[in-house]
Amino acid sequence: MNAVHTLTLALALAFAHHARADYLPDPAAAEAALWASPTVSQARGEFAAQALRSQGMQRGREEWTVGADILQRRIESPRGTQAEWGVALSRPLRLPARAASDRALAGALTAHAEASLGEALHESGRQLLALWFGWLNEASQTRLWLAQMQLAEQQLDAVNARIRLGEAPRSERVNAEAALAQVRLQQQLAAMREQQARNRLRAQFPGLPVAADEGLPSPLPPDGTAEGYVDAVLEHNHELFRARRQAEVLQAEARQFAKRRGVDPSIGAFYKNEAGGSEHVLGLSVGLTLPGPARRTDQQAAEQLAATAQDAASRLEQRLRQEARADFEAAVAQAANWQQADRASQALAEAAQLSARAYSLGEGSLDQVLVNRRLALEGQLAAQQAQVDALAAQVRLKLDAHQLWPLDVDAEGAAHAHP
């Protein structure tokens, strides 16, 4: 096992230890949804078509040509006019060097289509996670507003109790009812946003069950180092594979054009019936197609494109390294942000509880209770958003390192998997 595979395994074990799957889609259902997504379905069709085209290139496009001619020969003699006819059969020859270049190009095109299919799977996985965590965030907010509505109802009961005891003016009931009405409105809006997020997820991935546990786990910073994560990501990055395969396709095309700069031989046989059937001619024909200057310019253009694609692949690798390192560092920072937001939320929630408790005992004012409750709610919303963002960043690391769902594609099984 090489160093990269060791790092990949270590990351997989670390993620498996710290991440719960209760808040994520079912792995089997997610994999099926990815393969059924429109983008992946299109990429699968293009892969299958390219596999067929590659088979044609490997077998060669040289075909038999059948020709026939009918003519009439007029001779100034007693024989007069004589009917003549002939048939011919010919075919271009593919020299071994050209056949090898065709097979190399066919293999490069198949590998490029395979990388494109893998990239489509990866991008669909990112889209699924974005829609899933969008719904998960809205669902968490809906539950939070439901809890706030229960607190507002309890607060209204406490105000009514104090009014009955003559310890609070009736105007406080108006304030408590207004606060309850505002919370109910926000709960309704949150429920609407949750349903919209659910609909967007189902529209893109209709076969995916949209359900998760209500409780979210505590985000933890990823184990390992940024460099180890970068190596694991680049080992499986289909975008980089696709760029490299594109450069290989153009290099194979340049070699194919180079082989075509030679002559194109063809061989055939013919039969002619002449002189009214008195003469029969059977022979072999050999032809040579002489290349023109266009083949040289085609080769030069392909070589230039191949060099450009190779440079683009190198620049892409550098960019992906930087992005992967930034993603790792962002996941670390977001886990720390959630910890700070959670501490602040707990402190604000405790202050709100103390003020509500004091009001129920006849101390303090309702205005102070409502202010503290609003601050606690803002802290809870901020902590919840930070928690979802940290979990999303953590899962995104797993996805890009290919430790979440199977996203690798092989040329033999890609056209048959998940029919």
Burial class (CB in 10 A: 0-12, 13-18, 19+), 19: buried
Higher pLDDT, 6 or 219: 219
Sheet of 81-92: strands edge to edge?
A: 65-74, 81-92, 264-274, 279-289
Give domain status of residue 416, yes or no: no
Give domain status of residue 408, yes or no: no
Per the structure, the complete domain to which residue 346 belongs is given by 3-400
Q: What type of residue sits at position 332? A: V
Q: Which residues lie below 8 Å from residue 294, measured CB to CB, with a gap of 6+?
A: none
How far is it, in rounded angstroms, from Cα 174 to Cα 83? 115
Banded model confidence at residue 192, pLDDT cuts 50, 70, 90: very high
Instruction: Check residue 180 and give its pLDDT.
Output: 87
Q: Taking a C-beta distance cutoff of 8 angstroms, is the pair 237, 28 a contact?
A: no
Instruction: Check residue 4 and give its pLDDT.
Output: 32
Give domain status of residue 417, yes or no: no
Cα of first residue to Cα of last residue in the chain, in angstroms, is: 33
Please enumerate, as own/partner, the contacts of 199-205 that have beta carbons within 8 Å and a separation of 24 or more.
200/131, 200/134, 200/135, 201/128, 201/131, 201/132, 201/134, 201/135, 204/37, 204/127, 204/128, 204/131, 205/33, 205/34, 205/36, 205/37, 205/128, 205/131
Give domain status of residue 273, yes or no: yes
Q: Dihedral of CA 138/144/150/153: which sign?
A: negative
Instruction: Check residue 10 and give its pLDDT.
Output: 34
Ranking 12-16, 35-39, 177-181 by mean pLDDT, the lowest is 12-16
Banded model confidence at residue 5, pLDDT cuts 50, 70, 90: very low
How far is it, in rounded angstroms, from Cα 206 to Cα 200? 9
Q: Which residues lie below 8 Å from residue 411, measured CB to CB, with a gap of 6+?
A: 51, 110, 111, 114
pLDDT in tens, 57-113: 888 777 788 888 887 777 766 666 777 788 888 888 888 888 888 888 888 899 999
Instruction: Check residue 6 and give its pLDDT.
Output: 35
Domains: count for the chain: 1
Banded model confidence at residue 330, pLDDT cuts 50, 70, 90: very high
Ranking 11-15, 78-82, 100-104, 377-381 by mean pLDDT, the lowest is 11-15
How far is it, in rounded angstroms, from Cα 160 to Cα 174? 10
CA angle 228-233-237, nearest 5°? 155
Query: Of 142, 154, 149, which is closest to residue 183 (Cα–Cα)?
Result: 149
Give domain status of residue 406, yes or no: no
Q: Taking a C-beta distance cutoff of 8 angstroms, is the pair 114, 107 a contact?
A: no
Give domain status of residue 367, yes or no: yes
How far is it, in rounded angstroms, from Cα 21 to Cα 18? 10
Q: What type of residue sits at position 217? A: P
Give domain status of residue 335, yes or no: yes
Query: Angle of helix 238-259 relative to helix 96-164, nearest 10 degrees?
Result: 160
Give domain status of residue 111, yes or no: yes
Higher pLDDT, 161 or 21: 161
Query: Of 330, 340, 351, which is closest to residue 382 (Cα–Cα)?
Result: 340
Query: Angle of helix 96-164 relative to helix 293-360, nearest 10 degrees?
Result: 10
How far is it, in rounded angstroms, from Cα 29 to Cα 10? 26
Q: What is the CATH number of the domain that holds 146?
A: 1.20.1600.10
Instruction: Check residue 410 and give its pLDDT.
Output: 58
How far is it, in rounded angstroms, from Cα 60 to Cα 38? 33
Structure tokens at 138: 């809205």
Report the pLDDT averaged over residues 354-366: 79
CA angle 162-164-167, nearest 5°? 40
- pTM (two decimals): 0.78
Query: Of 397, 33, 379, 402, which is closest to residue 238 (Cα–Cα)?
Result: 402
How far is it, in rounded angstroms, from Cα 317 to Cα 379? 40
